[in-house]
Amino acid sequence: MDLDALPDERVAPLALAGDREAWNVLVKRHERTVLLRLLARGVRVDRAKDIVQDTWVRLIQQQREGRFDRLDLPGLAIRQALYLAMEEGRHGSKDVSIDEAPEIATLPDPHPSIEERLSTRADLDRAVEELERCPPRARRVFETVYEAPGIPHAEAAAKVGISVQRLRQTLCEVRARLRAAMERSDESS
Amino acid sequence: MSHPDDSTIERFVMGMLDDDADFVAHVSGCDECSRKLQREAEVELAMFEIRARASASRVAEARAARAPAPRARRAWRVLGPALAFAAAATVIAWVGHRRMRPAPSDATAAVRVVTCPDGPRQLECIAEANRSGARLEYPKDSPIAALGREPGLTVHVRPRSSDGFVPEIDARFRQITSDFEACARQAIVWQNAPLRTGEVLLSVTIEPDGRTHDWRPAIVVSQGEPPAYVEQPAPAFDIDMELARCLRRAVEAVPFGRRDRAVRVSLSAMYVWRE
């Protein structure tokens, strides 16, 4: 069975049952999102990378101990990572898990604060409008890559039918246009 | 390593930097580069949001082209201060709306519509409607509308003031154990921000058979006391899939015996944007 081709809803139960390969797939899909969330919160990049690693180790350990009845990713990983970052900042140690601190399960996802700071409705609307003005193939590249976190560029390129290099170049061009659209609204507000 | 250029920082957050050891070593000890990286990470996360919005926008346009839903639009116009207690994430609303309410189409137009008034035969009526494939409709102008005011299960969450999170609400939430309220709690924790102009509010009624109607989304236009609201068509709303899934699971988990009357759900808003 090709786990890479399965959606999270199918892979997560396998990971819950202890399937190592399923865990690998989930980590590969979501580790960048977790890292980005930490970075967007202002966590230093070296610490953020360590915390991301610790996060997955702890989640897998807790799964083996039967602590989870379901895996909602990347939310669960983000909350664990955020908690580790908070604990490290507070006590100089991140040696805390969901098992020891069940409130992690209800910790805030950092997403709202990011949106509040950057992705306001007006900013996003402007960026969406800009996206609609992009050439169809460029839009397809963007939408394929950002459809879900963790999709490899090689896979996205194959879907669109272009080379990885071309995909990345197009992606950077579209991203620059969208970013400029958002920053224009930042400046006007 | 000298300061990485903007392009290198961008490639790092996009996952395009194959060997990032030097980059990490420099940025970890550089305040200026760390700030740039933080900003770039925010931009990268925004790209996913833009992608989702673009997709949702096309879906909404396609839906609007198929069915203008004049009855629903009229309902928006009568909304207002009554929504002061009725609030929820836009996000939840629109996803739930799409999943739980039959999509308007030529096919549904031919489906028989029945109403099942309150009373001893209500469940039987609903069961028969389900068996025959009829669509249940809530009789808004009949006495059954009182169900919205005296439902089988009501969740009113109004935990925030203009100063932000209201401390006593936390204690209140600790007494709540059902999955549904856990979602509400999560929403509030996520929010943890003052009520503000541009915030989206919503209430919805869930019928005993799980169908929904009477969606009442609105946007805060004034932060006065009480706040003022303006109704908004649902397609303007955003989606938070994780919370929507949580909410839906919780609604489905309510035992049928407790869903023998319409359920009026009102949650505090948790999704905020700046005007």
SS (H, E, C) B34-91: HHHHHHHHHHHHHHHHHHHHHHHHHHHHHHHHHCCCHHHHHHHHCCCHHHHHCCCCHH
Cβ contact A167:A141 at 8 Å: yes
Q: Three-state DSSP class for A44?
A: coil
pLDDT band at B117 (very low <50, low <70, confident <90, very high): low
pLDDT band at B262 (very low <50, low <70, confident <90, very high): very low
Instruction: Show Cβ contacts of residue B20 under 8 Å, excluding neighbours closer than 6 positions.
Output: B12
- Give the pLDDT confidence of B71-98 residue by residue, as tens digits: 333 333 222 222 222 222 222 222 222 2
Percent of chain B with pLDDT over 90: 8
Q: Three-state DSSP class for A151?
A: coil
Q: Which helix (H) or strand (E) is B113 found in, with range?
A: strand B113-114
Query: Can you give the pLDDT at residue A26?
Result: 92
pLDDT band at B14 (very low <50, low <70, confident <90, very high): very high
* pLDDT, greater one: A58 or B153: A58
Segment A131-135 shows an average pLDDT of 93
From residue A77, give the alpha-carbon distance in Å to each of A62, A98, B7, B38.
12, 10, 28, 19
Structure ipTM:
0.84
pLDDT band at B126 (very low <50, low <70, confident <90, very high): low
Nearest CA in chain A to B48: A146
pLDDT band at B118 (very low <50, low <70, confident <90, very high): low
Query: Can you give the pLDDT at residue B223?
Result: 47
Cβ contact A185:A122 at 8 Å: yes
Cβ within 8 Å of A, B 170-189: 182, 185-186, 189
Cβ contact B211:B103 at 8 Å: no
pLDDT band at A66 (very low <50, low <70, confident <90, very high): confident
Q: Which of A151, B42, A17, A71 is nearest to A80 (CA)?
A: A71
Segment B57-69 shows an average pLDDT of 55
Task: Choose the CATH number for A3-109 among 1.10.150, 1.10.1740, 3.40.50, 1.10.1760.
Answer: 1.10.1740
- 8 Å CB contact of B24 and A106: no
Say which range, A8-17, B85-94, B121-130, B262-271, has the weakest mean pLDDT: B85-94
Instruction: Show Cβ contacts of residue B159 under 8 Å, excluding neighbours closer than 6 positions.
Output: B165, B166, B169, B172, B173, B188, B268
**Partner residue opposite B41 with nearest CB, options A40, A124, A128:** A40
* pLDDT, greater one: B30 or B265: B30
Percent of chain A with pLDDT over 90: 39
Distance CA A121, CA A113 (A): 13
Q: Which of A5, A163, A138 is nearest to B54 (CA)?
A: A138
Residues of chain B found within 8 Å of residue A39, distances taken between Cβ atoms = 13, 37-38, 41
The token pair that represents A69 in the structure block:
């009845």
Query: Can you give the pLDDT at residue A3?
Result: 85
Query: Can you give the pLDDT at residue A69?
Result: 77
Please check whether residue A28 touches B, CB under 8 A: no
Q: Kindly report, as residue ranges, where domains of CATH 1.10.1740 are found in chain A.
A: 3-109
Average pLDDT of the residues of chain B: 51
- Give the pLDDT confidence of B165-184 residue by residue, as tens digits: 334 434 443 443 444 444 54
Query: Can you give the pLDDT at residue A7?
Result: 83
Q: Kindly report, as residue ranges, where domains of CATH 1.10.10 are found in chain A.
A: 118-188
Cβ within 8 Å of A, B 9-38: 10, 13-16, 24-25, 27-28, 34, 37-38
pLDDT band at B195 (very low <50, low <70, confident <90, very high): very low
| CATH architecture, range A118-188 | Orthogonal Bundle (1.10)
**Model's pTM, two decimal places?**
0.53
Looking at chain B, the number of H-run helices and the number of E-run strands are: 10, 9
Average pLDDT of the residues of chain A: 79
Distance CA A33, CA A41 (A): 12
- Give the pLDDT confidence of B216-239 residue by residue, as tens digits: 545 444 444 444 545 444 433 333
Cβ within 8 Å of A, B 223-242: 240, 242
- Give the pLDDT confidence of A75-118 residue by residue, as tens digits: 788 878 877 887 776 555 444 444 444 433 333 333 343 334 44
- Give the pLDDT confidence of A106-127 residue by residue, as tens digits: 333 333 433 344 446 677 888 9
Q: Show the DSSP H helices in B175-263 as ranges.
A: 179-191, 241-253
Inform me whether the pLDDT recorded for A63 exceeds 80.
yes
